[in-house]
Amino acid sequence: MIEVDNIHKSFDDAHILKGVTTTFDTGKTNLIIGQSGSGKTVFLKCLLGLFKPTEGTICYDGKRYSELTAAEQRDLRQEMGMVFQGSALFDGKTVEGNVMFPLEMFTKQSKSEMQDRVDMVLKRVNLVDANHKFPSEISGGMQKRVAIARAIVMNPKYLFCDEPNSGLDPRTAIVIDNLIKEITEEYEITTVINTHDMNSVMEIGEKILFLKDGLKEWEGTKHEIFKTDNKAVTDFVYSSELFKKVRQMYIEERN
Amino acid sequence: MKYLTDIGGYAIMVVDLFKKPTKWRIMKDLILKEIDELIFGSLGIVVFISFFIGAVVSIQTAMNLTSDLIPKNLIGFATRQSIILEFAPTFCSVIMAGKVGSFITSSIGTMRVTEQIDALEVMGVNALNYLVFPKIIAMMLYPFIIAVAMYVGIFGGWFAGVFGGFITSADFVEGVTLDFIPFHITYSFIKTFVFAFLLATIPSYHGFYMKGGALEVGKASTTSFVWTSVVIIITNYILTQLLLT
């Protein structure tokens, strides 16, 4: 579980996060949504420890990040997995090399133990016969799978994903969403996903946090988002004709 | 103000890159890869340039010896001194600022743009140590390139002098060995070690801390080349003042 209490973050004069308080539960897919510039990425980077909050605290299963020593913070980082928007795979390493990288860096496993673990994880993300290919030789969807495999290879307790569906076709996007959800439940991970994709919200949003201008505007589940009367949320979620119709159908069904 | 910020940032980077070292098992492979790319990958261009620079120095010296009172072996002497003291260490380093420096800035800058550096940091890896330290160690073999440049440059001078009909081989060799001061080689290699450190770290700084996208990677490479060259030229002056006077 990740508990966020009154997080503020400023860059020079720009006050990006203005006091966000929320909780992300273990074993659930938690989504952060909001318009561009709402502070989603800064919030995610604060959760990752890449940005130090100007004010407020973040607790990871009761451990307050700001009170940990540098060594303890490093250890905690190794319990985090991250899937970046552009996958952020290392160009000079093969698929296998990318997934093996955290094991090589942080474990004392033998080559064969690492190989077994990599094979298992790649199989889990349904990626076979691509071990020796370089990131530039595989599709965007496959790159996302490799990024997920790399993020979970160390058995993380926390998984963070920044726009995991960007640049993917709708079908592949759903496959990636479901893969993240399955992994979250299977490994009992606290997953936090930063997304714009409303399909993801409807598909896997067990808890949704809506940010607006650096503040928590709304939070709830994917079922509650249909019922909310919060104008900012409805304007954002139902901005497309398709979702307007979906909501209309939902309201008519309810009446 | 920006220059002061950059100097401070560079100093902090140099300190930080020695913190939390990467496992030797991994570092060893990184160093070997960098040696291949930065050192052996630069040999061709350095040999090519050194040969022709040596040849041109030899011809220009010969063309300026108009008096019969000046011995012909001065061509060999001047070629040796020019190549050893300046052309091999300094001229080659400026060339390397373009070749190696741009490569370092663009490769690290691309990693920054594509979030690969963020990925390293999220994992808890000291990205500076992982990316820059192997380059510094690899560049400690840079004097090897400069030694080759010295040999090839003097050979180029001999080639142009002898086959251009400006001097006999015996006179050239006599000039090359005339009044040889071994400390000049030491001076040259001291300079080379310092330049090697600058060649590895200044482009890394520009790549590591760049912001923006692909266009900014190009701009960072250009800025890196300019600043590496400027710092090399200034350092060359300071070291010459300190070591030769």
pLDDT digits (tens, 9 = 90+) for B45-72: 999 999 999 999 999 999 988 777 888 8
Give the distance between the most distant pair of CA atoms in chain B.
72
Distances B225 to B1, B95, B210, B228, B232 between C-alpha atoms, Å: 21, 9, 14, 5, 11
Taking one residue from A and the other from B, the number of pairs with CB-CB distance under 8 angstroms is 49
Say whether both A150 and A166 belong to one domain: no
CATH classification of the domain holding A218: 3.40.50.300
**Above 0.90 for ipTM, yes or no?**
no
Nearest to B46 by CA among B115, B144, B134: B144
Say whether both A217 and A205 belong to one domain: yes
**Closest chain A residue to B125 measured between Cα atoms?**
A105
Say whether both A161 and A149 belong to one domain: no
Locate tokens 């290699």: which residue?
Answer: B189
Q: Identify whether A214 is part of a domain.
A: yes
Q: Identify whether A242 is part of a domain.
A: no
Locate tokens 């370092």: which residue?
Answer: B104
Residue B159's pLDDT is what?
A: 96
Locate tokens 């510094």: which residue?
Answer: B136
Say whether both A140 and A175 belong to one domain: no
Q: Identify whether A253 is part of a domain.
A: no
Say whether both A2 and A73 belong to one domain: yes
Say whether both A190 and A75 belong to one domain: yes
Report how far apart the first and last C-alpha atoms of chain A are (Å, whole number). 37
Q: Identify whether A230 is part of a domain.
A: no
Say whether both A68 and A14 belong to one domain: yes
Asked whether residue B231 carries a pLDDT value surpassing 80, the answer given is yes
Range of the domain at A65: 1-79+157-222
Q: Identify whether A28 is part of a domain.
A: yes
A85/B22 touch (CB, cutoff 8 Å), yes or no: no
Locate tokens 């299963």: which residue?
Answer: A61
Tell me which of A9-18, A193-202, A236-245, B151-160 is least confident.
Answer: A236-245
Q: Identify whether A255 is part of a domain.
A: no
Helix (H, G, I), strand (E, B) or coil at B124: coil
Q: In this structure, how many other beta carbons lie within 10 angstroms of the beta carbon of residue B165?
A: 8
Q: Which of A131, A155, A179 is the C-terminal boundary of a domain? A: A155
Q: Identify whether A252 is part of a domain.
A: no
Q: Identify whether A240 is part of a domain.
A: no
Say whether both A145 and A21 belong to one domain: no
Say whether both A41 and A149 belong to one domain: no
B122/A102 touch (CB, cutoff 8 Å), yes or no: no
Question: Cβ contacts (< 8 Å) between B126 and chain A: which residues?
Answer: none
Asked whether residue A243 carries a pLDDT value surpassing 80, the answer given is no
Say whether both A169 and A144 belong to one domain: no
Say whether both A105 and A208 belong to one domain: no
Q: Is the dihedral of CA A148, A149, A154, A157 positive or negative?
A: positive
Question: Tens digits of per-residue pLDDT, A174-193?
Answer: 888 888 888 888 888 999 99
> What does the alpha-carbon distance between residue B129 and residue A148 come to, in Å, rounded to a whole number?
25
Tell me how many domains chain A contains: 2
